[in-house]
Structure 1
Amino acid sequence: MNTSETDLQPVSEARAIAAQTHYQVRFGRGAGALETVGRQADVLVWVDALPDVPAAGRPLAPIVLPTLEGVPVIHADLRTRTRAARWMLEQQVLAGDRVSVAVIAAEDTVEDTLAAGAVIDALAAHGIDFSSPEAAVACASFTGLERAVGHLLSASVNGRALVAAGYAEVIAEASGIDSQS
């Protein structure tokens, strides 16, 4: 079966749309977004707001960053959102051109979506604001709820599980917007 180049064009276009390639700032959720959104960006910001709930008696697991061949990946959360935005701006200055960024929430959770929105908001504050609709919605979730972030993190499913496991201080620390410069 022969497939002409024009037959393949809709598939490539669909991939580009799913990857939000028209936009500089892109957003996705979960590991699947690494392929659809992350692989097509120049840099990737992996956002994981809270550690996984530990099993009884075990220490909290360290954050494991995903890897994408040829795409620089950094971790960010509420505490480091501005630092991540500054790093992104530095990448753009070094490139001497517009650099695309995929902001990926580690999981489809309240806390990761809010933290990803916080990163996108910080990017916009640094002039990196040609955002996909997906990124704009994540950003709006943060800006609209910024004053309630601490409560939302502790009241979320993962937050309540951390509190029940005796890790309330982890949530308090994770809620500190720009607390790590």
Structure 2
Amino acid sequence: MPPSDETAPFAQSAYQVRLDWGTAGLTRLAPADVVVVVDVLRFSTTVSDRVAAGERVPLDDAAHAVSINGAAVARAAAEHGVPLVLLGCLRNARAVAETVLTEQSRLGRRLGVTVLAAGELTSRDAGAPLRFTVEDLLGAGAIVDALSECGIDHTSPEAAAAQESFRSLRRALGHLLTASGSGQELLARGRREEVEAAAVLDATDAVPVLRDGVLVRYP
């Protein structure tokens, strides 16, 4: 869906790599060939590890068992007709960038890439306000940085700011995730190992792609 006249200044349409937050961000941005959904704690990370283990993960099941918000963003992208919907996180940032590069080479043209940080809904209501999450900012920045290293580097100011946040803080990923609000919430539930694992950069080359309502390993 093209941005309306009211949102056109925020469409980032002059740039190849764009960044915004949640489903609202999807509607603000110019149409893209690829959308990367970043929900580090826990949707993107958990599903990436599951497809790495050979699983096929139905989106509805993942929404129920893992995260309603990340799943909602992925579903919205598919409903908007985005040709390629990927899940990205810190653990597969480079693999996501290499996947985009592979698709760009296959199609023989420059692809528009939207990186959508999922954030966190403040309640289970899909229409609830979105809370900023440091882990998704860093995960999105890691993916933008990896894209840049692959030569896909015409980034919007929003994407560049996330990239520089990641670059300057990459040595502290473990601390930042465990100390973040989302991390503290999971630690209180006894999930420290899960949070620590989510902070490991480029631990897997598995990239989930959404096909017919199911998340599978690319290609």
TM-score interval, smaller chain: 0.7 to 0.9
Cross-structure match for 1:145 = 169
Cross-structure match for 1:135 = 159
After TM superposition, the score normalised by the length of structure 1 is: 0.84
Cross-structure match for 1:7 = none
Cα deviation digits, residues 54-111 of structure 1 (max 9, x gap): xxxxx95256233243212110000010110011111211221111100010112100
Select which of 24, 39, 62 maps to 1:32: 24
Structure 1 residues 48-67: aligned runs within 5 Å: 48-51=39-42, 61=66, 64=71, 65-66=74-75, 67=78
Select which of 140, 144, 149 maps to 1:125: 149
Number of aligned residues = 163
| Identical residues among aligned pairs (%) | 42
Higher strand share: 2
User: 4+ residue stretches of structure 1 with deviation over 4 A?
Assistant: none
Select which of 107, 114, 118 maps to 1:95: 107
Match status 1:86 vs 2:98: yes
Q: Tell me the secondary structure at the aligned position of residue 31 of structure 1.
A: helix
Q: Is the 1:51–1:60 contact (alpha carbons within 8 Å) kept by the matching residues of 2?
A: no
Cα deviation digits, residues 1-52 of structure 1 (max 9, x gap): xxxxxxxxxx63x533311010000000122112112x61111000011127
Unaligned runs of 5+ in 2: 44-63, 120-131, 206-219
Code of the residue aligned with 2:80 in structure 1: it is E
Cross-structure match for 1:42 = 33
Unaligned runs of 5+ in 1: 1-10, 53-58
Q: Is the 1:117–1:142 contact (alpha carbons within 8 Å) kept by the matching residues of 2?
A: yes
For the aligned residue pairs, the C-alpha RMSD in angstroms reads 1.7
CA distance in 2, matches of 1:128, 1:94: 15
Q: Is the 1:44–1:101 contact (alpha carbons within 8 Å) kept by the matching residues of 2?
A: yes
